[in-house]
């Protein structure tokens, strides 16, 4: 087995027929924490969508958690998504049910059956994000930061090989952003690989890590200067 959870070679990223990023070459190894930065509209979300099968890979070679992106079939996408944990800026929790039921919904949809196993797994992931006592609440009863913790817990349910987080702190104040970042750092220390798009340079300075930048239709690694 490869040590890479993601490997792209000469990939072009499109939105419909528009070329957004050209000749993308990148590799992410197991256990890495990688930032993806770049101006609004520079292609961060388009790249991430290509990685989780929302945009087809039409040019170049790409492997993600052992799926070949250029040969990915429609019916394989749910299987790929099970091996990825995706976290969005706007949390995307189901508003009509409690946190426990949000998490149970995902487990059932991904093939879990036993009630006991499901509730144990839910407890484990809520504990990882410091929300063990909040499972009975509805999303609207939680703060933005708490909702994002739940979204991270949801991403962890099926022990993903890669977590893709698209501006996870984009809707949060600076203090809450740091708290979410602490959660992501902890998860990374426990062995999870994370790719995180962000606009928040303060976070990158506080938690330095490998950084990729989308600029002018290309992606390259930026070297952080010591501060
Ligand atoms: N659904 C779509 N259909 C066509 N073009 C799109 C679509 N979504 C985005 N684009 C275009 O693709 C380009 C890259 O957008 P993308 O959302 O990937 O950028 P981004 O770096 O994630 O921006 P932001 O930081 O604002 O989220 C932009 O020019 C945008 O207008």
Residues contacting 80, CB < 8 A, separation 6+: 52, 53, 64, 65, 67, 72
Ramachandran bin of 191, using left for φ above 0, alpha for ψ from -120 to 50, beta for the remaining angles: left
- The pLDDT tens digits of the residues spanning 195-205 come to 999 999 999 99
Domain ranges in the chain are: 4-92+144-153+160-222
Confidence band for 3, pLDDT divided at 50, 70 and 90: confident
Whose C-alpha lies nearest to ligand 1, atom 24?
Answer: 40
Question: Worst-scoring range by mean pLDDT, 1-5, 25-29, 154-158, 205-209?
Answer: 1-5
Supply the residue whose CA is at minimum distance from atom 10 of ligand 1: 15
Burial of 195: CB neighbours in 10 Å, binned 0-12, 13-18, 19+: buried
> Which ligand 1 atom is nearest residue 49's CA?
18
What is the Å distance from ligand 1's center to 114 Cα? 41
- Which residue, judged by its Cα, is nearest atom 7 of ligand 1? 15
- Compare 101 and 82 and report the one with higher pLDDT: 101
Which residue's CA lies nearest to atom 25 of ligand 1? 40
Dist. CA 42 → ligand 1 center (Å): 7
Mean per-residue pLDDT over the chain, rounded: 94
pLDDT digits over 78-96, tens only? 899 889 999 999 999 999 9
Query: Taking the alpha carbons of 186, 114, 82, 93 in that order, is the dihedral positive or negative?
Result: negative
35 CA to middle of ligand 1, Å? Answer: 18
pLDDT(224) > 80 = no
Q: Which CATH number fits domain 4-92+144-153+160-222: 3.40.50.300, 3.20.20.450, 3.40.50.1860, 3.30.420.40?
A: 3.40.50.300
- 154-188 pLDDT, tens per residue? 999 999 999 999 999 999 999 999 999 999 999 99
Tokens of 151: 């979204």
Ligand 1: residues with CB < 6 A are 15-16, 20, 38, 40-46, 214
């Amino acid at each position: 087995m490869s040590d890479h959870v993601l490997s792209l070679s000469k990939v072009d990223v499109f939105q419909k027929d528009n070329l957004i990023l050209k000749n993308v070459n990148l590799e992410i190894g197991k256990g890495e924490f990688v930032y993806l930065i770049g101006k609004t509209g520079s292609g961060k979300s388009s790249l991430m969508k290509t990685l989780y099968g929302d945009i087809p890979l039409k040019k170049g070679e790409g492997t993600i958690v052992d799926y070949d992106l250029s040969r990915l079939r429609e019916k394989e996408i749910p299987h790929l998504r099970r091996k990825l944990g995706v976290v969005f800026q706007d949390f995307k929790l189901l508003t009509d049910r409690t946190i426990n039921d949000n998490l149970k919904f995902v487990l059932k949809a991904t093939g879990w059956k036993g009630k006991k196993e499901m509730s144990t797994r839910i407890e484990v992931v809520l504990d990882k994000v410091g929300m063990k006592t909040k499972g009975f609440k509805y999303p609207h009863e939680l703060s933005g930061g708490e909702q994002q913790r739940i979204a991270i817990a949801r991403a962890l349910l099926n022990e993903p090989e890669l977590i893709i987080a698209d501006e996870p702190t984009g809707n949060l104040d600076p203090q809450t952003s740091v708290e979410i970042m602490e959660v992501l750092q902890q998860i990374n220390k426990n062995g999870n690989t994370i790719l995180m798009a962000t606009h928040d340079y303060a976070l990158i300075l506080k938690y330095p890590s490998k950084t990729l930048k989308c600029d002018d239709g290309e992606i390259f690694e930026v070297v952080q200067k010591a501060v």
